[in-house]
Amino acid sequence: MKPSSLYVHIPFCNHICPYCDFPKVVYEKQWAFSYLNSLLSELDSLSLDKLDTIYIGGGTPTSLDISLLDKLLKKLSSYLNEGGEFSIEANPDSLDEEKIKVFSKNKINRVSLGVQSTIKSNLDFLGRKHNYEDVKKCVELLRKHCINNINCDLIYAYNGLSIKDLNKTIEDILALNVPHVSAYSLILEKGTLFYNKGIKEENEDIAASQYEFILNKLRNCGYKRYEVSNFAKNGFECKHNLVYWKDEEYYAIGLGASSYVKGIRSKNTLNLSSYLKNEFKGSYEVVGKEDDIKYFLLTNLRLEDGFPLEKFEQRFSSFDKDILLKKAKKMIDASLLRIKNDRLMATDKGLLLLDYILINLF
Ligand code: SF4
C-alpha cells in the first residue's frame, strides 16, 4: 500500500539560530523561487494519491513570501483527503494575518509555533527574535481564521534556564489554552554555532528534573504525554508525527528530507545547488530485518502507550517476538518496561532512560 503521509521541507530562515542543526539557509527571494520550482518537480515525480497527512517543516516555512506560500499550499492542498491533517511550522516573528489568510484559504488546519520560551533573556540566549506578545497575537489571529489546532514548541535544558523561568514559560503557554505542546531538550550537534563556541549541553540530572517539571505541570493541566516530548489534549495528537513514531511509511520532499517508502529509507541531498538542479537524491538504505526491528523499537517505544505485541509479531515473526520478550524481561523486572493489554511500553521511569532500554533490547 502506498504511504498516505508527506513531509515537505522548506530550508529558508530569516536568521540562523545558534543551536540549529536542521538543513537551512538564510532566506533569499530568488533562491526561494527556484527552490519552489524544484520542490514542485520533486512532488510531481512521486505520482501521489490522496494523502491523510501533510506536514510542512523547516527551516521556517513562513519565511516564504505570500505568493510563494500560496503557490505551495495550493498545490499541496490538492492532494489532501477530506478530513486530512495539513500542518505547517511557523515562527511568531514571520507570521502575520495575510499569511494566516493564505493558510486558511488552502486548508491548513494545524499550526506549530516555534515559541521556545517566553522570557526575554532565554530568547536572547537562543537567538530568537520574537517575544510573548508576538506569540499571543499569532494565536489570536489563527483562531480568528478558525485554525484552532495549534502547537507551541518549547526548549528546555540549556545554560541559564532556571525552574522559575521554565515555570513562567509554561504558565504563559497554558494561558494561551493551545491543545498541543512539544518540549525538547537542547541538543548541541557538531557544526552549530553553540557547539563551535564551546557551549555545553546542560547536565543530565538538571535536564531530567526540568523534564519532570514540564511533565507534571502539563499533566496536571489535562495534557496527555502521548510521546516522550509531546503533550496533547484529547484528540489533538499530531497524526502526521504519529506516522513516524509508529514506524509507518511516508513520503518526504525537499532539501535533506528523509522518506521511508517500500521498505527503503532515503535521504535527499543536503546540497542546495544540487537540489536546485533537480538532483534530489542523496543516500538510501535498504533495511535488513535486524535494523528494521531497531527502527521499530526506537520509534514505537517513544509512545506512552508503546505498541501491540501482535503488531510486532505480524510485521516480524513470533520467533522475533519471543526474543524481544526474553530481552525485555530484565527491563520489566527493573520497572523500565511493562506489558499492559498486550502492549509493550516504557514506564514513566523508562521513558527517561530510553537509550539504556534500547541498548539492552538490541
Ligand atoms: S531553529 Fe528553526 S528558525 Fe532557527 S535556524 Fe533552525 S530552522 Fe531556522
Per CATH, the homologous superfamily of domain 5-245 is: Aldolase class I (3.20.20.70)
Query: Is 90 exceeded by the pLDDT of residue 200?
Result: no
**How crowded is residue 7: how many other Cβ atoms within 10 Å of its Cβ?**
22
Work out the pLDDT band at 78, boundaries 50, 70, 90.
very high
Q: Spell out the domain ranges in the chain.
A: 5-245, 289-362
Which atom of ligand 1 is nearest the CA belonging to 59?
7
For a ligand 1 pocket test, name from 9, 14, 15, 16 the mutation site with the most ligand atoms within 8 angstroms of its C-beta: 16
The rounded distance, in Å, linking the Cα atoms of 145 and 187 is 35
Work out the pLDDT band at 285, boundaries 50, 70, 90.
confident
Would you identify the CATH topology of the domain 289-362?
A: Arc Repressor Mutant, subunit A (1.10.10)
Q: Which amino acid makes up residue 32? A: A
> Which residue, by CA, sits nearest to atom 1 of ligand 1?
20
Mean pLDDT of 243-267: 96
> Which residue, by CA, sits nearest to atom 4 of ligand 1?
17
| CB proximity list for 238: less than 8 A, separation 6 or greater | 85, 87, 110, 151, 180, 230, 232
Q: Which of 346, 256, 253 is nearest to 302 (CA)?
A: 346
The reply to whether domains 5-245 and 289-362 share a CATH topology is no
Bridge-based pairing of strands 5-10 and 251-253 is parallel
Distance 309 CA to ligand 1 centre (A): 38
Mean pLDDT of 309-318: 96
Query: Is 90 exceeded by the pLDDT of residue 251?
Result: yes
> Which residue, by CA, sits nearest to atom 2 of ligand 1?
59
Mean pLDDT of 266-295: 92
> How confident is the model at residue 5, as a pLDDT?
98
The DSSP bridge partners found for residue 10 are 58
